Amino acid sequence: MTDTVARPVPGAIADEDWAAAVATVREYAPGGRVLLICHVNPDGDALGSMLGFALGLRRLGVHDLQATFPGEFEVPAPFTAMPGLDLLVAADAVTTDPDLVLVFDVAAESRMGALAGVLDRARASVVLDHHASNTGFGGVRLVDPAAAATSVVVEELLDRLDVPLDAEIAECLYIALATDTGSFRFDMTTPRVHEMAARLIATGLRPAEISRRIFDSRPFGAMKLFADVLARAELEPGAAGGLGMVWTYATLDDLARHGQRPYVLDALIDPVRCVAEVDVSVVVKQVADGEWAVSLRSKGAVDVSAVAVTLGGGGHRLAAGFTGHGTPSEVIKTLREQLTPEKRI
């Protein structure tokens, strides 16, 4: 197969969509007001994809650039050294009538909060994503559920715009790729993923230093908080038709007692999902009175994205989330009822 032949990968983005995205960026970005948006409570893929692409636009000579995300305007400590952070603007301070909006790693408009309305006011919009549950909003849509991270889509669009990778763009895209593949361990860690990682590392990145900063560093108080929250975990071997579930919860009071910020809880699913006896793991994290952000993971036997979608959330087959209401026990009861045989993979 030569380079000039289109490679039809199932679930991949059609050539006309790539062409439309390139044409849209070339038409509206130079000389226009460009707004980049990623999802609420941004993770490494959301921030890395958005800032990596923003830096790419800057290399193209685009100067009116703002990058933002809804909700509390706080960059989690692991990402406070990410290149391109100077482009971040609080959501309530961004332009209300951009020429071009680019959206990163957003599965549903609800994940953009009040920023969702700006999509309709913009002259053009491009959505870059990889969620199987993506709801189909936006103008030009580059959504590839087979991509390991949104940054895979970003790298290809930058390439098609003739923006070369430099070390800063590469660091953003590497953090995004490493985050969503669980440091190259999860399901979607294909040869293509390692080839992309090789291109990124070749710009001079130091993976060990980045990994320590992103994954292997947390305050002492966060470790003590994890100890409390893990100590109350419950094992339910009979849940999910006998596939088993483990769950725990963390309250705002837990965070306050240990002097920790909410984002530290994003790493808590990792020890929980290692429990050998079960397929499904769950962390229920309080965000307000009676409101909980629920993280779901499966080892491969349950489509937790389908479960999350029935509960108003979304995600990927083996990693998903939704917003729960009531007490942690009530949230888990609602969830337990959705772990039905048709959610089996």
By CB under 5 A, name the binding residues for Mn ion: 43, 45-46, 105, 150, 180
Residue 159 or 330 having the CB closest to ligand AMP: 330
- Closest approach, Cβ 275 to ligand AMP, in A, equals 16
Instruction: Write the DSSP string, 26-47.
Output: HHHSTTS-EEEEE-SS--HHHH
Residue 321's DSSP bridge partners are 295, 314
- The token pair that represents 117 in the structure block: 């309305």
Closest CA to 81 of 168, 192, 143: 168
Shortest separation between residue 105's beta carbon and Mn ion, angstroms: 4
Selection from Mn ion, ligand AMP, none that 321 binds (CB < 5 to 8 A by kind) is ligand AMP
Closest CA to 39 of 145, 171, 150: 150
Partner in contact with 154, chosen from Mn ion, ligand AMP, none, beta carbon below 5 to 8 Å by kind: none
Strand ranges, E, within 112-253: 124-129, 140-143, 234-236, 245-250
Compute the least distance from the CB of residue 147 to Mn ion, in Å: 9
Per partner kind, with CB cut-offs from 5 to 8 A, the member of Mn ion, ligand AMP, none near residue 254 is none
CA 117 to chain centre: 21
- Provide the minimum distance between the beta carbon of 130 and Mn ion in the complex, in angstroms, as a whole number: 6
Residues engaged in binding ligand AMP (CB under 6 A): 39, 107-108, 111, 131, 295, 313-316, 319-323
Of 95, 161, 96, 97, residue with least CA distance to 128: 161
CB 105: neighbour CB atoms within 10 A?
Answer: 30
Strand partners, 141: 127
Q: Which is nearer to ligand AMP, 161 or 287 (CB)?
A: 287
CB of 175 to Mn ion, least distance (A): 12
CB of 80 to ligand AMP, least distance (A): 19
Tell me whether residue 154 or residue 320 sits nearer to ligand AMP (CB atom).
Answer: 320
- Per DSSP, what are the bridge partners of residue 126? 102, 140
Minimum CB distance to ligand AMP, residue 315 (Å): 3
Q: Which is nearer to Mn ion, 46 or 255 (CB)?
A: 46
Number of DSSP helices (H) and strands (E) in the chain, helices first? 12, 11
Residue number with CB closer to Mn ion (38 or 272) = 38
Nearer to ligand AMP (CB atom), residue 249 or residue 322: 322
Residue with Cβ nearer Mn ion (46 or 250): 46
User: Could you say which of Mn ion, ligand AMP, none residue 323 binds, taking C-beta under 5 to 8 angstroms by partner kind?
Assistant: ligand AMP
For residue 295, which of 280, 284, 307 has the smallest C-alpha distance?
A: 284
